[in-house]
Amino acid sequence: MRPEFFSKKNLASMPRVSIFRVPMFRYISAMSLLTRVFVFASALALVSACGAGLEQRKVESKTHFDLGVVYLNDRNSIMALEELTKAIEKYPKEAKYHNALGLAYFAREMNEQAKVHMKEAIALDPDFSEAQLNLGRIYLEERNWKAGIEASEEALKNIFYKTPEYAHFNIAQANYEMGKYDKAAEGFSRAVRLNPRYVPALYNLGQTYEKLSRVDDAVKAYERAVSISPGFVDAYFKLGMALVKSKDKVRAIAVFNRVIKLSPGSSDAKSAAEYIELLK
C-alpha cells in the first residue's frame, strides 16, 4: 500500500478499526512545480556543461535528487523515480538518495525495490534513523510486525534522532495489530509524551484504550485529538461512540451533531444521525 495517514472505515457497519499510519515523507516547498522544474533543469544544464569529474557528478547528482524530491512531495512518483534513479547513477554513495528512491518505489507499491534502497541507505549511514523508520513502515504495511518493530527499534538507537515519536508510533502500531494492547498503549502514550500535539498517536491511543475497556481514558485521548485538530471527523465519531459507552448521552449527541456539521451528506454524518435518533 502507498503511504497514507489512515484507512477510511465504513462507520455505519463498524468493521475492524483502522488505525493511523505514520506519514513517510513531508511536503517541503511552497514554490510551484513548474517553477521548481525550471530552476533545477537550468541548474542541471549549467553543471553538465562544466565537465564530468567526481565533484561535478556529485553536483549533478544533487540536482537530480532535489528535483526528485520535488516530484516525490508532489506525489508524482513516476517522475520521482526517474530523477532519483539518475541521482544514484551519478553518485551512488549518498544515503539520503537511496532513502528517497526507496520512498518513491514504496509510493508505487514496489516494496521489494523500496526495501533494497532503504537497506542500502542504512548500510551507507548506520545512524540514518529516518531510513530505518521507513524500512519499518514498509514491513508494517506488509504485516511483518516483528521486522517492523526491529527496524523501528534500530531507529531509536540513535540518540540524536529528532523525531523518535514516529518510531514509538510504529512499534505501538505493530503491537496493536498483534493484539498486545497494553504494549500498544504504552507506545502511543510515549509518542504523545514526546510530541503532545501528535494527533495520530492520540487517535490510536483512544482506540487502544477502548480495546482495554478504559473508556474514560479513551474519551480523554479523543478529546485531546479534536482539540488540536478540530476538523478531524473520525476522531469526533469515535469520541461520540466512547461517550455512548460511558452513558453520557447528552455529550454524545452534541459530538454526533458536530460530525454532521463537519461532514454533511457523508456516511459519517448518516451514521451520526442514526445514533442521535437511538439516543433520544
Residue 21 lies in a domain: no
Residue 217 lies in a domain: no
Residue 167 lies in a domain: no
Range of the domain at 79: 1-7+29-125
The domain boundary residue, chosen from 90, 125, 160: 125
pLDDT digits (tens, 9 = 90+) for 214-263: 999 999 999 999 999 999 999 999 999 999 999 999 999 999 999 999 99
The domain boundary residue, chosen from 125, 155, 189: 125
Whether 1 and 120 map to the same domain: the answer is: yes
Mean pLDDT value of segment 198-220: 98
pLDDT digits (tens, 9 = 90+) for 63-107: 999 999 999 999 999 999 999 999 999 999 999 999 999 999 999
Residue 82 lies in a domain: yes
Indicate the average pLDDT of the chain: 86
Q: What is the CATH number of the domain that holds 42?
A: 1.25.40.10
pLDDT at 54: 87
Residue 71 lies in a domain: yes
> Given pLDDT bands bounded at 50, 70 and 90, which one contains residue 42?
low
Mean pLDDT value of segment 34-59: 62
Q: Which three cell numbers stand for residue 166?
A: 514516529
DSSP secondary structure string for all residues of the chain: ----S-----TTT--SPP-----S------S-HHHHHHHHHHHHHHHHTT--SHHHHHHHHHHHHHHHHHHHHTT-HHHHHHHHHHHHHH-TT-HHHHHHHHHHHHHTT-HHHHHHHHHHHHHH-TT-HHHHHHHHHHHHHTT-HHHHHHHHHHHHT-TT-S-HHHHHHHHHHHHHHTT-HHHHHHHHHHHHHH-TT-HHHHHHHHHHHHHTT-HHHHHHHHHHHHHH-TT-HHHHHHHHHHHHHTT-HHHHHHHHHHHHHHSTTSHHHHHHHHHHHHH-
Q: What total of structural domains would you count in the chain?
A: 2
CA-nearest of 256, 234, 254, 279 to 14 is 234
Residue keyed to cell 491511543: 205
Residue 140 lies in a domain: no
> Given pLDDT bands bounded at 50, 70 and 90, which one contains residue 185?
very high
Residue 267 lies in a domain: yes
> Given pLDDT bands bounded at 50, 70 and 90, which one contains residue 7?
very low
Q: How far is CA 217 from the centre of its chain?
A: 24
Residue 144 lies in a domain: no
The domain boundary residue, chosen from 79, 99, 125: 125
Tell me the whole-structure pTM to 2 decimals: 0.81
Distance from C-alpha of 260 to C-alpha of 241, rounded to nearest angstrom: 14
